[in-house]
Amino acid sequence: MTRSPAVPGGSLVLDSEGLAKSVLRDRNVTGWLALARADDLRVLTSAATLVEVVHPRINRPALNWTLARLVIEPVTEQVARQAAALLANAGLHGHKHAIDAMLSATALAAPGPVTVLTSDPDDLKALCDGNVTIIKI
């Protein structure tokens, strides 16, 4: 059986845990990243995710190496407005779920099909309302 040719396109989105595990070279996340490269998927995260992942003990050179291989999408006014709408639709509050909402808005704007690697699948499923594939890592 031969594999059908991959159609370039689609996106793999990392939340803060996905990004942190990528920095740590987690085997599961590294496997997803290898599949994304093989299938010409765009690997990205939200700029808001950087706020969650950076802490005093993070390996800065490894973080910078990882970030150099990702697309870091800015949080524009349009993304912020979309995130607020997602929160309202899901009945969630921005104080607790703001960064997840910004990541979700970023994922929904990315070229599809979109897969999100996350440690928090329930909130992202509620925010994305079935429009992206959510994988728990």
What are 14-65's pLDDT values in tens digits?
999 999 999 999 999 999 999 999 999 999 999 999 999 999 999 999 999 9
Q: Report the number of secondary-structure helices (H) and strands (E) in the chain.
A: 7, 5
**Token pair belonging to 47:** 């700029």
Q: Could you name the CATH architecture of 11-136? A: 3-Layer(aba) Sandwich (3.40)
Q: pLDDT by residue (tens digit) across 70-124? A: 999 999 999 999 999 999 999 998 889 999 999 999 999 999 999 999 998 999 9
pTM of the shown model: 0.91
Query: Which amino acid is residue 49, in one-letter code?
Result: T
